[in-house]
Amino acid sequence: MGRTFSSIRLGVNNMADRWARSARALKKEGRKYGERLVELVKTHSSEAFVACDDPLEAVVFSALVEIFKRQDRLEAGVEKYVDS
């Protein structure tokens, strides 16, 4: 029996919920980063469901896409500042 879109989605949502609980358990200085990670995961997880067979793979892929997007925006901002 093969995987279904809903089973991957459910797995991702369950993992995001667990990560959110873990983020709340972190010390104050780490909590905001854990919460941001959960937000990143939820941003692209729907698109990742189609191509990923494993919920963890979808979660990590989603987070990495958002991290790279943010890095590109930061680098573009620095380049504008340096070129000015």
Residue 34 has a pLDDT of 94
Chain centroid to Cα 28, Å, comes to: 20
Rounded CA-CA distance 80/69 in Å is 17
Only one residue has tokens 């793979």, namely 57
Give, to the nearest 10 degrees, the angle between helix 55-83 and helix 28-51: 110
30 pLDDT band, cuts 50/70/90, is very high
pTM: 0.70
Token pair in block for residue 84: 């000015």
Query: For 13-22, 38-47, 67-76, which range has the lowest pLDDT when averaged over its residues?
Result: 38-47
Mean model confidence pLDDT for the chain: 83
